[in-house]
Amino acid sequence: MARVTIAQVAAAAGVSKATASRALNDHPDVGAGAVARVRAAARNLGFVPSASAVRLARGSQRTVGLLVSSLAWPWMLQVLGGVAAEAEARGFTLVLQTLSRGEKSLTAFLHQVQSNAIDGIVAIEPPGGLPALTELHERRGLPIVMIDDRVSRPRFPSVATTNERGAYEVARHLAETGARRIGVITGPPEYTFCAERDRGWRRALREHGIELRDELVLRTDMSDRRSYDATGELLARDPDLDAVLAVGDVVALAALRRLREDGVRVPDDVAVVGFDDIPAAALAVPSLTTVRQPMYAMGEVAVRLLIDLIGGAAAPAEPLVTPTELIVRESSTRH
């Protein structure tokens, strides 16, 4: 399908190309009526400004933004490390914005963007922030790259990992060690990575003749407290449980703590596996079998892609994928 041009938008709105361009870039010398007509035409035609045109209109500040919900998740610092290192290597300044104050934080960040202080954004999808990011991308042509989106597949470029394959490999590993009565502690099904990992686990276990029992699949908010409680609930529902599949390492570490406190030996009585390979996974006792999610590399790749887009490169049609890796440690290795 041919790309909609600014000339087509201008013709539909009944204005010149120059006026259409100024209207889409919020120049103050365009009347409100013309701005409304141009924006309506752009929306109806599905017009997305090219990154190179936007850069020329605004002037590059050589500044990129990183928008995240919070830095509380252990793997978030790995993302930040990759983003910061690559931005510095490419000669760009990095602006970090968390949403610790919710809507106020998002509004403050959007004000920075709209004042043309930021050339593009790397984002880990913020709760409630997708509409604003989509508006910036589709109406203003601001380059945006999403990392491992949590809820949806937005209409701008993204960097992803092999969630389903990683989950498949770790569940297959459990089955091959002899686990049969397996409990799962996962997260909300609307989170993309949870749904992908759920599919991977189920496929691997089916191939080994194991069906997950519905009463042994518990959905939580993935917090330490809730994961600790869910582990106790799994044990109450099946005293003969022999393995726990955790959607993330934070969940798995909480499970290890609960099992230890209940006198359950890991891995001799119950094996435990996680996902992410946060630094604490290797230091746990026993050390945690997990799936290494390449968060640092994902940050690097996201910045490279973003800077290419700022320079006018075409957006890739599919997410850029960095592969996971199964890391086998003590928590699943029965003797």
Which CB contacts under 8 angstroms, 24+ apart, belong to 157-160? 157/305, 157/309, 157/315, 157/316, 157/319, 157/320, 158/319, 158/320, 159/298, 159/301, 159/302, 159/305, 159/319, 159/320, 159/321, 159/322, 160/319, 160/320, 160/321, 160/322
- The domain ranges of the chain are 6-47, 61-161+296-322, 163-292+326-332
Do the domains 163-292+326-332 and 61-161+296-322 match in fold? yes
pLDDT at 116: 67
The domain defined by 163-292+326-332 folds into Rossmann fold (3.40.50)
For residues 8 and 189, what is the distance between their CA atoms, to the nearest angstrom?
41
Q: How far apart, in Å, are the Cα atoms of 176 and each of 210, 248, 330?
A: 11, 21, 15
DSSP string, 24-87: HTT-TTS-HHHHHHHHHHHHHHT----HHHHHHHH----EEEEEES-S-STTHHHHHHHHHHHH
pLDDT per residue, tens digit, the chain (335 aa), is 466 788 888 899 998 887 887 777 666 677 888 888 988 888 888 776 655 555 545 556 788 999 888 887 778 889 999 999 999 999 999 999 888 777 788 888 877 777 667 889 999 876 667 778 887 787 777 899 998 765 555 677 889 999 999 999 999 999 999 999 999 999 988 888 899 999 999 999 999 999 899 999 999 999 999 999 999 999 999 999 999 999 999 999 999 999 999 999 999 999 999 999 999 999 999 999 999 999 999 999 999 999 999 888 888 888 899 999 999 999 999 76
Distance CA 21, CA 34 (A): 11
From the centroid of its chain, how far is CA 327? 21
How far apart CA 4 and CA 326 sit, in angstroms, is 44
Distance CA 82, CA 302 (A): 9
pLDDT for the residue numbered 153: 56
The dihedral formed by the CA atoms of 11, 15, 18 and 22, expressed in degrees to the nearest 10? -110
Which residue, 279, 290, 291, is CA-closest to 323?
291
Phi, psi of 207 (to 5 degrees): -65, -20
Q: State the pLDDT at residue 66.
A: 93
| The pLDDT of residue 321 | 92
The pLDDT score that the predictor gives to residue 56 is: 47
Confidence at residue 43, expressed as pLDDT on a 0 to 100 scale? 82
For 126, list phi and psi in degrees, rounded to 5.
-80, 140
CB 63 within 8 A of CB 119: yes
Q: What is the DSSP letter of 289?
A: B
What CATH number has the domain spanning 61-161+296-322? 3.40.50.2300
Q: pTM of the entire structure? A: 0.77
